[in-house]
A and B are shown apart, each in its own frame.
Chain A
Amino acid sequence: MDLLFDSFWSALILLLHADKELLEIVKVSLTVSGVSTLLAGLAGVPLGFWVAFGRFHGRAMITTVLHTLLALPTVVVGLFVYAFISRRGILGPLDLLYTQKAMILGQTILIIPVVAAFTITAVKKVDKRYRQTAMTLGANGFQTAMVVATEARYGIMAAITAAFGRVIAEVGVSMMLGGNIKGFTRTMTTAMALEYDKGQFVLAVALGIVLLAVAFGVNFILNIFQARAQS
């Protein structure tokens, strides 16, 4: 227990002094996860909307696949993207491996199913009368879709928030595609894994505190959206 308490106090001091290395790691984490979430939102929300709103064969199958992908292990995504961007891969010439771009690519693939699946749920929850009302008031297909999206807004925001929560805490993709390069691709989770390997817990605990604070913030926002969606 002494080890844990000593590490905890040292970590707090590190945080209070705004340690440069710690801030750098937090910045990389937030940047990579933030951009991944943005890109996944841009792809996943329209995808989820299309599946929920569209009338075509194979909708149920797409939904099943998306739900299956929710449980996708991060190392599988890491391996999959690695096969494409490694030197021998078809995207090898782009020289993406061990860059933040590679991490963003992997994380985006990881959370598109999260955003899409939760968006489908949010859109399907919207009362069918909204659609009918918009149409009878003169809206075309796109305008009707926008009405439904507006009514599902809290659910969609919750989907994006949940996706951010998933990537900020993942380690597989970041480690395999980012390489844990100090000051460049080192994120909170990969740094914690490294510090643990080195047997140095102070920075790991400090990063753990930051990660918990971020997770708390994400869940706090998620709860607000969910409460509004239900009201």
Chain B
Amino acid sequence: MLYTLNGITKEYGNRKVLDAESLKIPAGKITALLGPNGAGKTTLLSILAFLSYPTRGSMTYDSREVRFAQSHVQPLRREVVLINQHPIMFSRTVARNMEFGLKLRGMAKEQRETIIRENLSLVGLEHFAQARAHKLSGGETQRIAIARALALSPKVILCDEPLSSVDSQNQAIIVGLLRRINKDRGISVIFTSHDSVWARSLAHEVLYLDEGRPVDSVLENIFSGDVVKNESGETVFVSGEGVGFPLSGASPGPARVSLDPSGLEIFRPGSSGRSPESLYGRIHQLSHEKKGIRVVIDAGLPFTVLLSENDYKFMCPKIGDMMGIKITPKAIRILGG
């Protein structure tokens, strides 16, 4: 195992943001940390990078017990590089940015220049060496940040939401890069995401976090809003965006609900599945995964539905098709106010 965490917690004042009773991350693989915003993913990543210390608990890295003290974590930091969600470049040229870590490691100038050239070439930005690093676009900055990390030949690269702030063209490049550095260089890649579709397609292992705790599967379709009674006296949930659906048995007031994608049903408008409570929207994403076909429908909010292969073959949904969504009671999980 690359990391083994036992009883690791992180608290800020009275607020516990991470509570990992037991968590194992394998070596040499691409691991995704999935969870909604505020699940504790970034906090966990920061601890895995030895940049912040847990409040309690123990951790091993590469079969070594980690002692969270400056003198002990300093050598470990040289094996692990964290790339921020919005990476920041020193106000120097790209080459000067890349040679920063190499200089700290006492590398000779010729060797530094070779490494910089090689890694800029790997990310497809070899002609950017003398560019001002502050002037780069979001996608270019993300790629240079990967090159800057790779230049140090780390054992682990940690990426915080690597695709969240880049355009679709750069997204494809970055996904390809992460695959290549794992496959060709054997570097363990751990990344966080709240987008389960692409995360599952890239990762060998997927770990789920919710409210700071590792969970068996990630909660999806999480919506915040209010439970209210409608004109006919039925209890309904209305999201902050104004999208509503029945929610029997809940007390009126603020609520946060999660809808299990495998508990949702879809149907073509006009077919027998129609009911007054159904929601309608167009399909804007389809992807294949081990458990079935993931369908994302925009019905005022993005709803993720997991279809079995048989249901998919039967309905043949396509991108742009108008579909109805039926929310079954078994899909609903009330998370609190």
Residues of A within 8 A of B (CB): 127, 129-130, 132-141, 143, 147, 150-151
Q: 8 extra interchain contacts, Cβ-Cβ under 8 A, other than A132-B51, A141-B70?
A: A129-B88, A136-B81, A136-B82, A137-B104, A137-B148, A138-B152, A139-B104, A150-B91
B104, A138: Cβ atoms closer than 8 Å: yes
Which residues of B sit under 8 angstroms from A134, Cβ to Cβ?
100
Identify which of residues 62-84 in chain B touch chain A, using a CB-to-CB cut-off of 8 Å. Answer: 70, 74, 77-78, 80-82, 84
State the CA gap A130–B100 with chains docked (Å): 12
B88, A127: Cβ atoms closer than 8 Å: yes
Q: Which listed residue (A136, A139, A140, A147) contacts B49, Cβ 8 A?
A: A136
Query: In chain A, what residue has the closest Cβ to B158?
Result: A136
B104, A143: Cβ atoms closer than 8 Å: yes
Which residues of B sit under 8 angstroms from A129, Cβ to Cβ?
84, 86-88
Q: Which listed residue (B70, B77, B90) contacts A136, Cβ 8 A?
A: B77
A sample of 8 inter-chain contacts (CB < 8 A) reads A129-B88, A133-B84, A136-B77, A136-B82, A137-B100, A138-B152, A141-B70, A151-B91
Which residues of B sit under 8 angstroms from A141, Cβ to Cβ?
70
Which residues of A sit under 8 angstroms from B91, Cβ to Cβ?
150-151
User: Is B101 positioned at the interface, with any CB of A under 8 Å from its CB?
Assistant: yes
Which residues of A sit under 8 angstroms from B74, Cβ to Cβ?
140
Query: In chain A, what residue has the closest Cβ to B151?
Result: A137
A133, B78: Cβ atoms closer than 8 Å: no
Which residues of A sit under 8 angstroms from B49, Cβ to Cβ?
136
State how many angstroms separate the Cβ of A80 from the closest Cβ of chain B: 40
Which residues of A sit under 8 angstroms from B51, Cβ to Cβ?
132, 135-136
State the CA gap A144–B91 with chains docked (Å): 15
The bracket for how many chain B residues form the interface is 20 to 34
State the CA gap A140–B91 with chains docked (Å): 20
B88, A147: Cβ atoms closer than 8 Å: no
B152, A133: Cβ atoms closer than 8 Å: no
Residues of B within 8 A of A (CB): 49, 51, 70, 74, 77-78, 80-82, 84, 86-88, 90-91, 100-101, 104-105, 148-149, 152
A137, B101: Cβ atoms closer than 8 Å: yes
Known contacts A132-B51, A132-B82; is A138 also within 8 Å of B88 by CB? no
Which residues of A sit under 8 angstroms from B84, Cβ to Cβ?
129, 132-133
State how many angstroms separate the Cβ of A146 from the closest Cβ of chain B: 11
B77, A130: Cβ atoms closer than 8 Å: no
B90, A150: Cβ atoms closer than 8 Å: yes
Which residues of B sit under 8 angstroms from A130, Cβ to Cβ?
88, 90
State the CA gap A64–B301 with chains docked (Å): 49
Q: Which listed residue (B70, B78, B87, B90) contacts A138, Cβ 8 A?
A: B78
State how many angstroms separate the Cβ of B54 from the closest Cβ of chain A: 17
Which residues of B sit under 8 angstroms from A137, Cβ to Cβ?
81, 100-101, 104, 148-149, 152
Q: Which one of B74, B80, B105, B149 has the highest number of Cβ atoms from chain A below 10 Å of its Cβ?
A: B74
State how many angstroms separate the Cβ of B196 from the closest Cβ of chain A: 26
Which residues of A sit under 8 angstroms from B104, Cβ to Cβ?
137-139, 143
Query: In chain A, what residue has the closest Cβ to B46?
Result: A132
Query: In chain B, what residue has the closest Cβ to A143?
Result: B104
State how many angstroms separate the Cβ of A186 from the closest Cβ of chain B: 44
State how many angstroms separate the Cβ of A89 from the closest Cβ of chain B: 44
State the CA gap A134–B51 with chains docked (Å): 11
B87, A133: Cβ atoms closer than 8 Å: yes
State how many angstroms separate the Cβ of A141 from the closest Cβ of chain B: 7
State the CA gap A141–B148 with chains docked (Å): 20
State the CA gap A67–B77 with chains docked (Å): 38
Q: Which one of A127, A133, A137 has the highest number of Cβ atoms from chain B below 10 Å of its Cβ?
A: A137
State the CA gap A139–B101 with chains docked (Å): 7
A138, B105: Cβ atoms closer than 8 Å: yes
Query: In chain B, what residue has the closest Cβ to A135?
Result: B51
Query: In chain A, what residue has the closest Cβ to B100?
Result: A137
State the CA gap A150–B51 with chains docked (Å): 21
Query: In chain B, what residue has the closest Cβ to A129?
Result: B88
State the CA gap A164–B276 with chains docked (Å): 76
Query: In chain B, what residue has the closest Cβ to A127?
Result: B88
State how many angstroms separate the Cβ of B77 from the closest Cβ of chain A: 6
State how many angstroms separate the Cβ of B194 from the closest Cβ of chain A: 20
B70, A147: Cβ atoms closer than 8 Å: no
B82, A138: Cβ atoms closer than 8 Å: no
Query: In chain A, what residue has the closest Cβ to B92?
Result: A150
B105, A133: Cβ atoms closer than 8 Å: no
State the CA gap A134–B82 with chains docked (Å): 10
Q: Which listed residue (A133, A135, A140, A143) contacts B88, Cβ 8 A?
A: A133
State the CA gap A135–B100 with chains docked (Å): 11
State the CA gap A140–B152 with chains docked (Å): 16
Which residues of A sit under 8 angstroms from B82, Cβ to Cβ?
132, 136
State the CA gap A133–B88 with chains docked (Å): 7
State how many angstroms separate the Cβ of A137 from the closest Cβ of chain B: 4
Top-4 shortest CB links A-B: A137-B101, A129-B88, A136-B82, A138-B104
A138, B77: Cβ atoms closer than 8 Å: yes
